[in-house]
Amino acid sequence: MDRILVLNQRTKLVAERIMRLLNATDPYQKTIVFCEDINHAERMRKAIVNAAGPLAKENSRYVMRITGDSVEGKAELDNFIDPESRYPVIATTSELLTTGVDAKTCKLIVLDKTINSMTTFKQIVGRGTRIEESQNKFFFTILDFKKATELFKDPEFDGEPVVIYEPGDDDDPVPPDPPSEEDDDTDGGEGETPKKFVVSGVPVSILSERVEYLGEDGQMITESYRDYSRKNIRKEFASLDDFLQKWNSTKKKAAILETLAEYGIELPNLAKEVGKDYGDFDLICHIAFDQPPLTRSERANNVKKRNYFTKYGDKVRAVLEALLDKYADEGVTSIENNNVLKLDPFKQLGTPVEIINGVFGGKAQYEAAIQDLEAELFKRAG
């Protein structure tokens, strides 16, 4: 894959998955994406630029291809490994960053490269093992799209370096690309270049995900993403009551989602498995505590059936009913952000300041109404 057969949709999906992890943790953590070859590295760079959106527009050096043939990319190598330099954030490469580069602040290693050599694998993973206390870097993450991490289970993990490079005073400080072991095994006559097939329009989806991490005993633990999420949600919230108390007392539910994100738990990812119509609250209760989930629309309709809005005046009721519809469409974090009042249908009722002060009587009253609405949304039956 990506050497002989190119699936453009797959490249796009990999790029989106990388950005999803970065956005859920730290979009500015140094990242190296290892690709099959230079062509693949360039296609991956373009795909990540598209997936990064505003981050890439903010600075053209957000993601760069750093390969042996890229003068521009190689010129940014020092900036990439400099702990004090923000850009480049993401480097796509094939072989250039495999050895000899001391990227102390690299927190994410992405493997979209077929690796059959334990030595090559160790050299690649070694880019993330540097500790940099001044940057709060004590661990790193491997995002593996080609099952290369199965080499963790090989008892002969250590091996000789692929390349030993000792440059002279006038030599290029950038180590040369090591010879690709896979290229030596390519079928065909001597000097024959294999054809590469590019396929577009083929639907691509992720069949399954698993998480691997070191347990307290130092042994590698492998489990499904769902089981991993369940275990760590329950680590943060010991019981359903514990979670409900925290959820109801937290003014901004995004704070809870950020806490789970620190464990690497992405609720949109779980929603793909359980159902995209379920909100964050129900996903957590269902995955971690086996509660039957309700969709966002079902929760919104339950509030309407209870005639909750009759205690409010017409203008307040119009705003809260629109917020309820917004929750049903997008989720709880959308209604906690005051910027939602800049959108339709709210802007037809006035500016955010006019709505908050004129309709609700002030910020405190507006926020209290939002919290009351959320209490109705997440009220337990019975």
CA-nearest of 109, 107, 92, 93 to 51 is 92
Write the single-letter amino acid at 81: I
0.85 exceeded by the pTM?
Answer: no
DSSP helix/strand/coil, 229: helix
pLDDT of the chain, 382 residues: tens digit per residue: 555 566 788 899 999 989 988 988 889 999 999 998 899 999 999 999 999 999 999 999 999 998 888 888 888 888 888 888 899 999 999 877 655 566 778 888 899 998 877 777 877 877 777 777 777 777 788 888 888 877 655 555 544 444 444 545 555 534 455 555 544 444 444 555 565 656 555 566 666 666 665 565 666 667 788 888 999 999 999 999 999 999 999 999 989 998 898 888 888 888 988 999 999 999 999 999 999 999 999 999 999 998 888 899 999 999 999 999 999 999 999 999 888 999 999 988 899 999 999 999 999 999 999 999 999 999 875 4
Peptide bond into 345 cis (omega under 30): yes
Beta strands in 99-239 (DSSP E): 106-111, 141-144, 197-199, 210-214, 220-224
Q: What are 284's two structure tokens?
A: 């957590």
CA-nearest of 101, 97, 98, 79 to 89 is 79
CA separation for the pair 249, 246 (Å, rounded): 5
Q: What are 253's two structure tokens?
A: 């539910």
Per the DSSP assignment, residues forming a β-bridge with 7 are: 199
